[in-house]
Structure 1
Amino acid sequence: MRLNSQTALRGKGVILLPYERMMVPKYHDWMKSPELLLLTASEPLTLEEEYDMQNKWLQDEDKCTFIVLDRDAYEKNKDEIGSMIGDTNLFLSYDEDQSLVAEAEIMIAEAWARGKRKGWEAMILMLLYGISELKVKKYQAKISMSNSVSINMFHKLGFKEESHSDVFKEVTLMKMTDEEWAKWLNQQTDYEILKRNLL
């Protein structure tokens, strides 16, 4: 979305940057992995289709996407592409009360970066951004039943099961936002919003 196109979010161990055209080839390489396609319930795209998708996500006001960088790697070499480890997304909609709902997603694509709480911190930064900048009132996470790591992470973040689908083999978790939860999220990491060009 245009709103976050000039925004960077910085935590203790990760940095979130808007998904830009120069990042597409590495993202495309990630999405050749059958494991990641399965875990993210995605279809393989050609490189040209991936460029189109990146541009569409930049334009659409109901999609907020950030690429996750490993902060230590970035601060050593200032190489954004080399420091990319995954992405995080919010898909926005309104419920019947016209409250903003966001479906949250996180993917740590680089195997070496998994199990180091990078996804945990990146998701917290994204949740805080949604609360403070987008005014999200309710979060959902739709996760494959086979993805126990993701399900456990969202449970630890305070999400509860809302529904599950045996047909789609996925569970939907939910969390209403409030001041107390936002305060707890802030206590889990540093949360800094920067201008993209000041990183």
Structure 2
Amino acid sequence: MPQPTSKRADAARNRDRILAAARTAFAGADADVSMAEISRRAGVGMATLYRNFPGRRELLEALYTEEVDAICAAAADAPDDPAGARLTAWVRRFFAFSTSKRAIAAELLTHVAGTDPVFEGGRTRVLAAGRPLLEAAQAAGEVRADLTLEQVLDMVIAIARIQGDAAYVEPILDAAFAGLRP
């Protein structure tokens, strides 16, 4: 007879498989993927999918929250480099998040209001996680003192919206980082 913990572990594995399949599906060129297709890719039945995520919105919110968690953790785990380098590495991670999650965020916005707690809570958490990195870089004289983290991240989000491959966008991002220096 299986142990209750094994049933919980199986449920957790199913949830992880669903999230992994959805993450891959929404990162693709055709991000308009059905819940049935996500279920198929995850190798779980529709009932299992809907037990974990009652609707598309809940699945998108879980993916978005998972990425916000990773961004916040990256700020806490920044390498012991000079303050400006730590900030730059973290902001590059945020840039990658912004470009790769464009489809998820766009679709999520169609299901929620712009002031949805998922977005507001995510933004608040990201700002709280990154603010110490900016403050340290400013205190070290490596980043202009007249910028807020909101301004830096808004700049990165704007650059992330630029259409083009990495060879086109990276020099723009590098120029923006150069502009952060005093």
Q: TM-score, normalised by structure 2?
A: 0.34
Mark the structure with the bigger radius of gyration: 2
Answer 1 or 2: which has greater strand percent: 1
